[in-house]
Structures are given as C-alpha cells and as structure tokens.
Amino acid sequence: MKRKYLHIIILVLLYSMEMSGQEYKFVKDLSGKWKFSLGNNPEWSKSNYDDSGWDKIYVPSAWEMQGFNGYDGYAWYRKTITIPQLYNKEALAIELGYIDDVDKVYFNGKKIGKTGDFPPCFATAYNARRIYDIPEYLINYDAPNTIAVQVFDEGLEGGIVRGDIRLIAEKNPLRPFMDLQGDWNFKIGDDLSWRYDTGEDGSWRKIYVPGNWENQGFKDLNGYAWYQTSFIANDSFSKDRIVLLLGKIDDLDEVFINGIKVGQTGFMEPEHRQREHTEAYNQLRGYLIPEGIIQQGKTNTIHVRVSDFYLEGGIYAGPIGFIHQQDYISYWKNRKKSNY
C-alpha cells in the first residue's frame, strides 16, 4: 500500500482523523435510517424532491440485508440534515464509508463527488473510502440540507455497506474565495499543445476534482494525463495577488493559465525525475499567479499536466480554487503557530 495511506492516524479520543495530510474533527453522526428507493431518476438528486413515499433502510449496511436480497443495479439514498450556524467558519465534508460499487453524491442538488464509473464504462470502487468536501456556498445554516447518493451495484452486496457515516470538519482549512471543485475535462497522454485546448473537441472525458483517477474509471493508469477547466474572473481578482490552490497531486505537475506556465512541483521529464516524487504527492499545491495573466471579466482556462509513477494518481485532495495571497500567508502562519 502506498506510503500516504500508511501515515493515516486515527485519533479516537479527540474525534478527529488524518487522511492524506488533512486533519478532521467530528461534527455529526449521519448513520441510521436514510430514505431509499430502487431505480434511477435524475430528479431524485434535487433538494425539493418529495421522498415521503420512499422506504427507509439503515446506513451503513448492504441493502441485501434489509429486504432487497438479489437486487443489482441502481438505487438512491436521501437524508436531510441541519447544520448549525456555529459551523459557518468550518470547511465541512461528508464521510460515507465504503460504497459498493459506484456512487455520485449531491448536496442540496449539486454534485459534490463521484467514485467509480457508472455503466456503460463500469468500474467498481467498492474498496475506496468516501470523503467529499462540501463547498461552503451550498450550505444552508440552521435550515434543512439534503444529501442524495446515487449508487450502482454490479453484483453481490450493494449500497453504503460499512464504515463511518458522518459530517466532519477540516482543522485550520484553506478557504478559497472561488471554489473550483467539480467536473473537469480529462485526457490521457501528453502533448504540450493541449495547454491551449478548450476541452470542447470531444477528445476529453469528465473527471471529478478532487479525486484520484483510479477510482473514476482510469484503473492502473500510470504516466501522463491532463486536466482542464475554465472560470470567469470576477471583481475579487482585483483586490490582491491571487494564489491558485490545487490541493494534493500524485505525483508531479505543471500548471498553465491561458497557456502560460504559472508553476510546477517536481521535474516532469523522465531524465530529471530523480527521487522528488517520493514526497511530492503529499505537498499542498499553491501557485502565486503572475500579474497580467488572468483576464478580468473574461473566460480563462486552467490546464494541469500530471505525471504519475505508480498506484494512485491525479488531483486527489482539495482544496481546489483561488485564494487571496494575504489569506494564504495567514494560513501558513497559523499552521506554524499550531505546529500542524
């Protein structure tokens, strides 16, 4: 097993956990009865959908153990939770244990994560631990919030089968003013001319960021791949120097905005790799953007060239987005003070 997983430390007495360098604290237990329905309907992701007629089953537990023996295919889970206002300074996430085989998760109707690949390009991820960051702008404090989970099971047991089911909060979080978590374009291979590509020519697939690519249908992929997304620079980009946050990347990366290189971690070319990749996968990426590159009020593109050596790969952990330089500096000062 890769070293980053060997460094996981569970701190039970403090209701906290550390995963891939991110430290969390317990907020709310979400295990217990959830609304449940067999089948598949995109309307079921919406927060205002009426699920009053649905069955209820216990989470975590395979649905075969709760009256749906022998069922393989699609099903949905839904749960409504209230998050107190006192957590409005926290960076919250949902932990959903282990899901057999594939899932897509929505919070108040917006997708916040996906693990595995649904048919027709089915790829199981039954042994992947699910932790999904919740973008702050989606949360209704002191009011109902809806979690909806689409699941596909190919065979044997299915559903949210085991593990911790809870709401958690990251300690000392980086909070971007523009969140870029979500679906990005993705292409396997390597061509530097792709840094100008808009991702609209049909040769790019969709991948959820953050999340390692092995758990999203690209099993055993080692080598080069590219990510692409776009954004419109609003007034917040004129207030201070800007840092692009790209979470953690396994293993090395090179980053371009509007075709211009703005940063890298490690040396991408095989003849220069040496041994830096052994630590690079666990480093937070924060790239200060040179002035004049981002075009105010216009569509800008981000391209991330990634090289993975073995096992897991890609932009696997957040935060993903833009933060002001002063806020970024404050974050690192706070880390130093807390010896985190």
Residue 226 in this model has a pLDDT that exceeds 70? yes
Give the tens place of pLDDT for each residue, 265-323: 987 766 545 455 567 888 889 999 999 999 998 999 999 999 988 888 999 988 999 99
- Within 8 A by CB and 6+ apart from 277, the residues are 251, 252, 266, 309
Contact 105, 183 (CB under 8 A): no
Q: How many alpha carbons fall within 13 Å on the CB side of residue 96? A: 32
The predicted structure's pLDDT at residue 215: 85
Phi, psi angles (nearest 5°) of residue 92? -95, 155
Residues 87-111 have a mean pLDDT of 94
- Name the H helices within the chain: 3-6, 277-280, 325-338
Q: Give how far Cα 208 sits from Cα of 180, 181, 338, Å.
A: 10, 8, 32
Whether residue 135 contacts residue 181, with contact meaning beta carbons closer than 8 Å, is answered with yes
Q: Using an 8 Å Cβ cutoff, are 197 and 303 in contact?
A: yes
Q: For all residues of the chain together, what is the average pLDDT?
A: 87
In terms of phi and psi (left: phi > 0; alpha: psi -120 to 50; beta: otherwise), the region of 73 is left
Q: What is the pLDDT of residue 132?
A: 93
pLDDT in tens, 8-58: 222 222 333 334 445 788 999 999 999 999 999 999 999 999 999 999 999
Measured between alpha carbons, how far is 318 from 320 in angstroms, rounded to an integer? 5
* pLDDT given at position 300: 96
For 158-216, the pLDDT digits (tens) are 999 999 999 999 877 888 999 999 999 999 999 999 999 988 888 999 999 999 998 88
CA distances from 63 to 163, 186, 187, 264 (A): 15, 33, 36, 45
Tell me, what's the pLDDT at 13? 25
Q: Return the structure tokens found at 145.
A: 């919030």
Q: How sure is the predictor about 5, in pLDDT bands with cuts at 50, 70 and 90?
A: very low
> For residue 1, what pLDDT is reported?
34
What is the Cα–Cα distance from 299 to 286, expressed in whole angstroms?
21
> In DSSP terms, which residues pair with 259 in a beta bridge?
none
184 and 87 Cβ atoms separated by less than 8 Å: no
Collapse the DSSP code of 225 into the 3-class scheme (helix H, G, I; strand E, B; otherwise coil) and give the result.
strand
289 secondary structure, DSSP code: P
> Which among 137, 131, 153, 161 is positioned nearest to 57, based on CA atoms?
161
Other CB atoms within 10 Å distance of the CB of residue 290: 14
pTM: 0.77
Tokens 């596909």 found at? 152
* pLDDT for res 228: 97
Q: Phi and psi for 274 in degrees, rounded to 5?
A: 50, -125
SS3 of 170, please? strand
Helix (H) or strand (E) holding 169: strand 159-170
Whether residue 260 is predicted with pLDDT greater than 50 in this model: the reply is yes
- Nearest partner of 43 among 76, 88, 2, judged by Cα: 76
